[in-house]
Amino acid sequence: AQKVTQAQTEISVVEKEDVTLDCVYETRDTTYYLFWYKQPPSGELVFLIRRNSFDEQNEISGRYSWNFQKSTSSFNFTITASQVVDSAVYFCALSGRNSGNTPLVFGKGTRLSVIA
Amino acid sequence: KAGVTQTPRYLIKTRGQQVTLSCSPISGHRSVSWYQQTPGQGLQFLFEYFSETQRNKGNFPGRFSGRQFSNSRSEMNVSTLELGDSALYLCASSTRTGGNNYGYTFGSGTRLTVV
């Protein structure tokens, strides 16, 4: 079975603070993909990043960075110098690949509120 | 290029009725997946279609069904609606099953309220 846990239900920060969203996953697949999506109030899920299980390199994209550690089964997401526009619900998701392409399994999400 | 289009955006139905939701994927995308989002259960996978064939199905009762047309547009149907079916239904498209290098592209969803 596959599972994604986002222990932080809600986080509130003041603008310009750094914030890290945690994601822990469980899977028996040796090949899998991890994703982060952002859901603004409009409802659609906006793709942020995909990482495969063989690539543990950290990634930075502007103010966003991701830390993937297979040893701890974690794929954490950091926003540097947060802005009000970052306020949204963020979802971590997993898709196994050992038995073909399996659907996305989502965590419960973390609601981030950035206060001006 | 146009994104994933879901219609209608909002819907109110009565218990016992049935409902059909529509999803038009990005042009060239042949895979369409449906997810249900509720406050209690979060995002749950309903089913995925690729080239008019159902490729995967989630753990939902038979009241939930779907189909895909030759132009890749997809519909999902829920019969005999229950209050618990109230949710945001999200559709996602991809070039192939299981997502592409950039994951799935999601639509804005249809918010269904059952009263």
| pLDDT recorded at residue B110 | 97
Amino acid identity, position A21: L
| pLDDT recorded at residue B23 | 98
| CA-based nearest distance B98→chain A, Å | 5
Contacts of B104 in chain A (CB under 8 A): 45, 47, 104
Full pLDDT tens readout for chain A, 116 residues: 899 999 999 999 999 999 999 999 999 999 899 999 999 988 889 999 988 898 888 888 899 999 999 999 999 999 999 999 999 999 999 988 777 777 899 999 999 999 99
When pLDDT is cut at 50, 70 and 90, the band that residue B97 belongs to is low
Which carries the bigger pLDDT value, residue B23 or residue A55? B23
| pLDDT recorded at residue B100 | 52
* Whether A90 contacts A110, CB under 8 Å: yes
Nearest CB among B99, B107, B108 relative to A95 is that of B99
The SS3 assignment for B29 reads: coil
| CA-based nearest distance B19→chain A, Å | 20
pLDDT in tens, B26-63: 998 999 999 999 999 999 999 999 999 999 899 999 99
| CA-based nearest distance B107→chain A, Å | 5
Q: Does A9 touch chain B (CB under 8 A)?
A: no
Look-up: residue for tokens 């986080």?
A11
C-beta atoms of B90 and A44 within 8 A:
yes
Contacts of B93 in chain A (CB under 8 A): none
Instruction: Report d(CA A43, CA A50) in Å as an integer.
Output: 20
| pLDDT recorded at residue B106 | 93
Angle in degrees, CA A46, B77, B8, rounded to 5:
50
Quick one: how far is CA B101 from the chain centroid? 21
pLDDT at B75 over 80: yes
| pLDDT recorded at residue A98 | 75
C-beta atoms of B108 and A105 within 8 A:
no
Angle in degrees, CA A52, B43, A29, rounded to 5:
30
pLDDT at B83 over 60: yes
Contacts of A19 (CB under 8 A, 6+ apart): A11, A13, A78, A79, A82, A112, A114
The two structure tokens encoding residue A32:
């899998």
